[in-house]
Amino acid sequence: MDLKTIFPELKKGNRKAQKEFFEYSSDILMGTALRYTNDMNASKDVLQEAYIRIFRSINDFEFREEEQFWGWLHLIVSREALRWMRRNKKYFLTDDFHSVSSNGVKKTPEFLFQDDLLIHLSKLPESHRIVFNLYVVEGYSHKEIMEITGISEINTRSYLSRARKKLQKLINRKIEISKGG
């Protein structure tokens, strides 16, 4: 699908174009929703609300290139996931501080597929998963994460550190298992 070609039709509210766009993009955006909610039904709710928001605000968006458009779409989905979590009281981010250091996550081995990473992310505590997603995947700074979540900047750093450490252990375990260990 050529997003640049279909975009003007989306702005016009063309239902056929919206359906085609939804079918093309929904699996990709579902991955973003799942990274936050860790629940298929919740992710479907998030995606539905995100598409409503996308189609309502598409006239305010100026399409320049596909990467920019995808970034905007992922931003809407991630923000909608956070809204859903708050509304459903599944947003248990706290400002508790526990000092943990980490060397960071090693480079992902070639045999570690995206699905594996999603599974590993789902094993993280919710607060760690959200901070990890916002920082590593979405590219927010710690200050921005603090503004979005209400967690102090020092604790966002701590949660990120713990998430990286836990992911590193899970990835290393997968490497050991794949080597027959």
Q: Is there a contact between 37 and 43 (Cβ–Cβ < 8 Å)?
A: yes
User: Of the candidates 70, 87, 104, which is a domain's last residue?
Assistant: 87
Structural domain includes residue 109: no
- Intra-chain end-to-end CA distance of the chain, in Å: 44
> Does residue 118 share a domain with residue 83?
no
- pLDDT category at 116 given cuts 50, 70, 90 is low
Polymer length in residues for the chain = 181
Instruction: Give just the sign of the alpha carbon dihedral 90, 94, 97, 102.
Output: positive
pTM of the model: 0.61
Q: State which residues form the domain around 53.
A: 3-87
Span 5-17, mean pLDDT?
94
Instruction: Encode burial over 114-147: b for 16+ CB neighbours within 10 A, e otherwise.
Output: eeebeebbeebeebbbbbbbbbeebebebeebbe
Residue 108: its pLDDT value, please?
Answer: 39
What phi and psi values does residue 78 have, to the nearest 5 degrees?
A: -65, -40
Considering its fold, how many domains does the chain have in total?
2
Domain CATH for 142: 1.10.10.10
